[in-house]
């Protein structure tokens, strides 16, 4: 049964210690210990810590699903007296979580469930936490996920989880929890994955060189009563911690000495940090990286170190935000399972790690809460005070995430399991459509965090939020219809008709006959292109228009959560590969590589979270560890690495690396359910080489030549000369027409920069009617007294 302490509990206060004794007649043949609780449970048996999970049982929708870990403890049981024990921290159940400042989302105090089942020959003996157990407090005098942990070593109740302990502890109380909610562990356990050493220690400030999620492990020598205070932050400013990105989170751990030399780490908190400030004596410090212990399944390396860093930043942000639940960020006062963030990031996540356990568990929570509440919450598990309205890109994760998992693993069971939830979401939105079939009313986050939106209104994007909603609905109703047809359900025809109606409604409202899209924003074009909302002619036109818009924005990012992941796919799909690479390689603020140039080691919530002068964006939405925008990495896998599934689960694949951006090689590895896929390509001088290893049939499209070859499973390689058109082009001169220069995005971008530098208010227009007749020399003639510097800059730009 569940037990709780009978003494009062303060949120963030001391963690209760629990213990109970039992006798074993002899060494059992097998002993299995089931453990869970409301809070974070650290189990012990006869003074020994059981298992290697931390932060167990993780965070789920506890009222519906509370995961129970099972440990084989056969070797720890002794004939005679034995003792079971556990320390239970506040965690997600009793502590503070979310931005509303609230504690006790699930319980007013931590509670424990332990059940030991011993097999002795024919006999089964069960020992459970019950009214005979007692509880007290000990060394953990304060604990909270947000604010940190205080450990007073002087109060360690030595021997508390061994038989014969005689502390002044009180009896426990039975605690009521729905036994039906107990489920076996689905998500991978959270573990200590690795330890990092500092890259520098300056005075009290320690830099681990990497923004990460976890805590520190400290070796310290001190006098009794001496306190070491450890504060965490993502950022340094003038050599001091800048804790602005934490908002109200205190992220402060304390160790109070009982004297001597000890190695200590906290257990009931976690922090998102790169830097710590340690006030007090220490001999050694390490950062412990903590997350769900998932299997890594995807890798990409290229010839460009900046891109490699961007990729590594995505991996680190995923690691930092997969601590049981897929969260927005690990450091500030949110750490919530924001639906939109994982919706944007899911294809990338599924490439990098096997996410079936963590996201499968999370989808089960989503469905349970949706059933109970009648809507898909914006955050899962839902701890928000107000009900969530259905919202594009956020709530529709109910449909798109199962669909992504089906594409990645080819397992229709995932869709079958989620079908009720998917269909309920679509039917809810269907009931809200206007007479034209548009999702034109109600709250929408829209193109959240558009860099041009006002700082105090992150939803105030350039792109009409109902256009965004209608486009996403066209995508999700199609996924729904495809799912229904695949599973052969009776509502398949209904969902297909709905998908067609919604697509038609989008086209009628927002697309001109020739392919212009209302609002003329990059996000609107990218959505229409990527979600198949256009006819082929319209799509080609939209692609050209999008390429113009990104050129006009100087290849910088002008889009938010909804549009940004689709920019490169929309450009490359419509034949504007060079523009896509210009955008990818652009280092100015805000751009994909800009954070890398600023030393970022994770993906930021916004590309301009830190300004070029080093100041933090003051909007309050400037986390330095948000995986959502790492969604761009999916394009790297498909286009630079060259791997796209042609059938769910990679049962058949397209291998088509599309080099560009000055890259000279790339190597991708992906574990799939059919086996490992490896692709590597390299250009050396005029020699191209592609090597492929596939466990399935593949269509290979050779880089540069576009030649298509069907191959069987096995290893394959091609070596060939770069085709002539990739030879040296005729050098551009000051007499080359502007029209020709404008057709070369790389040169045109360089020229635009020269113009922006010398004539900030005069745009250079390569599409003007006179562009064919004008050259840079004619332009210079118009400029009164052109400087030598201008002429030199222009010459340099066309090299
Ligand atoms: C979170 C986001 C989330 C958004 C939605 C933010 O505070 O950090 O990533 O999707 O709110 O409104």
Tell me the best of 338, 386, 631 to mutate to test the pocket of ligand 1, counting ligand atoms within 8 Å of each CB and taking the most: 338
Distance between Cα 97 and ligand 1 center (Å): 14
pLDDT at 733: 86
What distance in angstroms lies between residue 268's CA and the mean position of ligand 1's atoms? Answer: 25
Query: Would the CA dihedral through 205, 209, 211, 214 be positive or negative?
Result: negative
Q: Give residue 70 CA to ligand 1 midpoint distance, Å.
A: 35
DSSP 455-467: TT-TT--SS-HHH
Predicted confidence at residue 195, as pLDDT, reads 98
Pocket, ligand 1, Cβ cutoff 6 A: 328-329, 334, 338, 340-341, 445, 626, 628
The minimum-distance atom of ligand 1 relative to the CA of 459 is 12
Task: Note the pLDDT of residue 279.
Answer: 98
With residue 675 as reference, give the H or E element that holds it.
strand 675-684
Q: Which of 431, 537, 430, 434 is nearest to 473 (CA)?
A: 430
- Are 569 and 635 spatial neighbours (Cβ–Cβ below 8 Å)? yes
Mutate to test the pocket of ligand 1, among 621, 622, 626, 630 (most ligand atoms within 8 A of CB): 621
Instruction: Give, using CA atoms, the residue closest to atom 9 of ligand 1.
Output: 328
Q: What is the pLDDT of residue 798?
A: 84
- Residue partners of 730: CB distance under 8 A and separation at least 6: none
Residue with the smallest CA separation from ligand 1 atom 4 is 338
**Nearest ligand 1 atom, CA 605:** 9
Selection from 129, 126, 116 nearest residue 88 by Cα: 129
Q: Is 334 one of the annotated active-site residues of the chain? A: yes
How far apart are the CA of 100 and the centre of ligand 1, in A? 13
pLDDT score, position 728:
67
- What is the pLDDT, as a whole number, of residue 232? 98
Q: Which member of 277, 334, 369, 430 is catalytic?
A: 334
Helices 397-409 and 339-352 cross at an angle (nearest 10°) of 0
DSSP-assigned letters across all residues of 594-653: HHHHTT-SS--SSTTSB-TTSPBPTTS---S---GGGGGHHHIIIIII-EEESSGGGSEE
Atom 11 (ligand 1): residue with closest C-alpha?
338
HSE value, Cβ hemisphere, 13 Å, CA-based, for 448? 19
- Looking at residue 785, what is its pLDDT? 81
To test the pocket of ligand 1, the residue of 321, 334, 461, 603 to mutate (highest count of ligand atoms within 8 Å of its CB) is 334
Establish whether the linkage from the previous residue to 167 is cis, with ω within 30° of 0.
Answer: no
What is the per-residue pLDDT for 769? 64
CA of 337 to the centre of ligand 1 (A): 10
- Please report the atom of ligand 1 found closest to the CA of residue 561: 10
pLDDT reported for residue 762: 75
Closest residue CA from atom 12 of ligand 1: 445
338 CA closest ligand 1 atom index? 10
Q: Which two tokens stand for residue 81?
A: 């007296």
Nearest to 316 by CA among 666, 595, 565, 671: 595
- Residue 675, sorted as left (phi over 0), alpha (psi -120 to 50) or beta, turns out to be left
Q: Give per-10-residue mean pLDDT for the chain (799 aa).
A: 97 98 96 98 98 98 98 98 98 96 97 98 97 98 98 98 95 97 97 98 98 98 98 97 97 98 98 98 98 98 98 98 98 98 98 98 98 97 96 98 98 98 98 97 94 89 96 98 98 98 98 97 98 98 97 96 97 98 97 98 97 93 96 98 98 98 97 98 97 98 98 98 83 83 76 82 71 82 83 86
Query: How far, in Å, from the CA of 291 to the mean position of ligand 1?
Result: 21
Q: Is 582 exposed, middle or buried (0-12, 13-18, 19+ CB in 10 A)?
A: buried
b/e sequence 453-475, b meaning 16+ C-beta within 10 Å = beeeebbbbbbbbbbbbbbbbbb
Q: What's the CA-to-centroid distance between 135 and ligand 1, angstroms?
A: 39
Cα radius of gyration (the chain):
29
Q: Does residue 725 carry a catalytic annotation?
A: no
pLDDT of residue 665: 98
């Amino acid at each position: 049964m569940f037990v709780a302490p009978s003494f009062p509990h303060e949120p963030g206060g001391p963690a209760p210690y629990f213990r109970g004794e039992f006798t074993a007649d002899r060494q059992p043949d097998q002993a299995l210990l089931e453990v869970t609780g409301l809070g974070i449970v650290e189990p012990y048996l006869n003074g020994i810590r059981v298992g290697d999970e931390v932060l167990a049982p993780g965070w789920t929708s506890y009222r519906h699903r509370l995961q129970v870990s099972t440990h084989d403890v056969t070797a720890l049981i002794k004939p005679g007296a034995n003792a079971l024990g556990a320390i239970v921290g506040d965690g997600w159940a009793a502590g503070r979580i979310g931005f509303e400042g609230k504690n006790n989302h699930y319980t007013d105090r931590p509670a424990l469930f332990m059940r030991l089942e011993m097999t002795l020959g024919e006999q089964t003996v069960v020992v459970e936490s019950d009214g005979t157990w007692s509880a007290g407090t000990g060394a953990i005098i304060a604990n909270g996920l947000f604010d940190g942990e205080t450990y007073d070593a002087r109060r360690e109740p030595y021997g508390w989880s061994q038989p014969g302990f005689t502390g002044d502890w009180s009896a426990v109380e039975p605690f009521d929890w729905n036994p039906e909610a107990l489920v076996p562990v689905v998500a991978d356990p959270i573990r200590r994955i690795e330890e990092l050493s500092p890259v520098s220690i300056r005075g009290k400030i320690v830099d681990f060189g990497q923004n990460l999620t976890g805590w520190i492990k400290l070796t310290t020598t001190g006098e009794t009563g001496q306190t070491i205070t450890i504060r965490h932050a993502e950022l340094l400013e003038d050599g001091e911690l800048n804790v602005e990105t934490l908002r109200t989170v205190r992220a402060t751990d304390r160790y109070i000495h009982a004297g001597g030399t000890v190695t200590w780490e906290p257990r009931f908190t976690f922090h998102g940090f790169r830097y710590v400030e340690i006030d007090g004596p220490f001999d050694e410090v390490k950062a412990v990286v903590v997350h769900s212990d998932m299997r890594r399944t995807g890798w990409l390396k290229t010839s460009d170190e900046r891109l490699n860093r961007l990729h590594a930043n995505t991996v680190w942000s995923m690691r930092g935000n997969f601590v049981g639940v897929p969260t927005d960020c690990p450091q500030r006062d949110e750490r919530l399972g924001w639906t939109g963030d994982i919706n944007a990031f899911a294809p990338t996540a599924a490439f990098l790690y096997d996410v079936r356990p963590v996201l499968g568990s999370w989808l089960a929570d989503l469905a349970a809460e949706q059933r109970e509440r009648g809507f898909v919450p914006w955050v899962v598990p839902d701890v928000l005070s107000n009900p969530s309205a259905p919202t594009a890109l956020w709530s529709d994760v109910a449909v798109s995430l199962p669909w992504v998992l089906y594409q990645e693993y080819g397992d229709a069971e995932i869709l079958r399991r989620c079908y009720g939830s998917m269909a309920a979401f679509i039917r809810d939105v269907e009931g809200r459509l206007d007479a034209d079939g548009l999702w034109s009313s109600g709250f929408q986050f829209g193109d959240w965090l558009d860099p041009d939106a006002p700082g105090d209104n992150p939803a105030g994007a350039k792109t009409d939020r109902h256009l965004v909603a209608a486009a996403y609905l066209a995508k999700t109703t199609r996924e729904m219809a495809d799912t229904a047809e695949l599973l052969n359900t009776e509502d398949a025809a209904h969902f297909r008709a709905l998908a067609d109606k919604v697509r038609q409604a989008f086209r009628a409202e927002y697309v001109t006959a020739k392919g212009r899209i209302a609002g003329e924003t990059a996000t609107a074009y990218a959505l229409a292109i990527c979600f198949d909302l256009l006819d082929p002619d319209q799509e080609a036109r939209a692609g050209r228009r999008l390429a113009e818009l990104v050129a006009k924005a100087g290849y910088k990012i002008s889009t938010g959560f909804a549009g940004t992941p689709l920019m490169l796919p929309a450009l490359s799909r419509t034949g504007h590969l060079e523009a896509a690479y210009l955008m990818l390689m652009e280092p100015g603020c805000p751009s994909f590589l800009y954070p890398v140039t600023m030393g970022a080691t994770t993906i930021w919530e916004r590309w301009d979270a830190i300004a070029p002068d080093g100041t933090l964006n003051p909007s309050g939405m400037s986390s330095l560890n948000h995986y959502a925008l790492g969604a761009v990495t999916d394009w790297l896998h498909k286009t630079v690495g060259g791997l796209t599934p042609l059938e769910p689960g990679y049962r058949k694949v397209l291998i088509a690396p599309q080099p560009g951006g000055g890259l000279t090689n790339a190597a991708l590895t992906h574990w799939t359910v059919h086996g490992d896929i490896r692709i590597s390509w390299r250009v050396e001088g005029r020699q191209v080489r592609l090597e492929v290893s596939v466990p399935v049939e593949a269509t290979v499209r050779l880089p540069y030549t576009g030649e298509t070859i069907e191959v069987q499973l096995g290893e394959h390689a091609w070596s060939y000369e770069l085709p002539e058109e990739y030879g040296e082009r005729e050098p551009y001169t000051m007499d080359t027409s502007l029209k020709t220069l404008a057709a070369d995005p790389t040169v045109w971008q360089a020229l635009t920069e020269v113009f922006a530098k010398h004539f900030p208010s005069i745009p250079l227009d390569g599409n003007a009617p006179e562009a064919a007749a004008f050259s840079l020399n004619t332009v210079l003639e118009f400029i009164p007294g052109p400087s030598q510097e201008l002429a030199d800059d222009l010459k340099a730009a066309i090299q």
